[in-house]
Amino acid sequence: MIARLRGVVDGIEDGKCIVDVAGVGYLVFASTRTLASLPAPPTLANILIETQVREDAISLYGFATGAERDWFRLLTTVQGVGAKVALALLSSLSPDQLIAAIATQDKAALTRSPGVGPKLAIRILSELRERAGAMPGGGTALPVTLAPTGAAADALSALQNLGYRRPEAESALARALADHGQDAPLDVLIRAALKGLAR
């Protein structure tokens, strides 16, 4: 199985690129996020690879970060989410935004990706709800559009004052909000977030 390629990016097309490794051109499917991060030729690029072997094809999927590859693997465990849909989700949402969308059960965020309808979005949210919090992100767990206000903002401040780093505090708070709702009182949010952080 191929786990990584180091070579010159020979060409970039919609949803894929060709990586030249010692004269052999590998066709690698990737998210727009990964394709945008690739250096211009003839610079060498390192691309993490997920290899999928099927009866009729061997396909390579490339990722700029380990977090994105881990999310690809997780998303494709959901029935109805194939490699194409997983890459579409990763093109629309960063790992951090996926964590926040699943934690807050934000169906609209998922349905913005091509190939993800309301039913599939609900399946993704329900199947990955318990697992998303343990997945890697790349920074802040709440996207700007989900910046906390009111009791949530106070809870975030309290968690940071207790010594928790902002990313882990935001992730725990997002799960607390998903469990108890946006109107939950401050003490409930803090207790729920602390319980999540203690796991």
- Domains along the sequence of the chain with CATH: 4-63 (2.40.50.140), 66-132 (1.10.150.20), 148-198 (1.10.8)
Q: Which residues contact 87 (CB under 8 A, 6 or more apart)?
A: 15, 29, 30, 31, 61, 72
Q: Read off the amino acid at residue 38.
A: L
Which helix (H) or strand (E) segment holds residue 197: the answer is helix 186-198
Work out the percent of the chain whose per-residue pLDDT is above 90: 39
Mean pLDDT throughout 46-53? 93
Q: What pLDDT shows up at residue 149?
A: 59
Say whether pLDDT at 143 is over 90. no
Q: What is the pLDDT of residues 50-108, one digit of tens each?
A: 999 988 889 999 999 888 999 999 999 999 999 999 999 999 988 888 888 888 888 88
Mean pLDDT throughout 12-25? 92
Q: How far apart are CA 82 and CA 91, in angstroms?
A: 14
Q: Which of 109-113, 146-150, 178-182, 193-197 reaches the highest mean pLDDT?
A: 109-113
Lowest mean pLDDT among 23-37, 131-145, 147-161, 176-190: 131-145
pTM for the structure as a whole: 0.67
For residue 60, the Cα-to-chain-centroid distance in whole angstroms is: 19
Q: What pLDDT shows up at residue 97?
A: 85
Q: What pLDDT shows up at residue 148?
A: 53
Strand 4-13 and strand 24-30: the pairing is unpaired
Cβ-contact 109, 139 below 8 angstroms: no
Dihedral of CA atoms 79, 81, 83, 89 in degrees, nearest 10, equals: -150
Q: What is the overall mean pLDDT for the chain?
A: 84
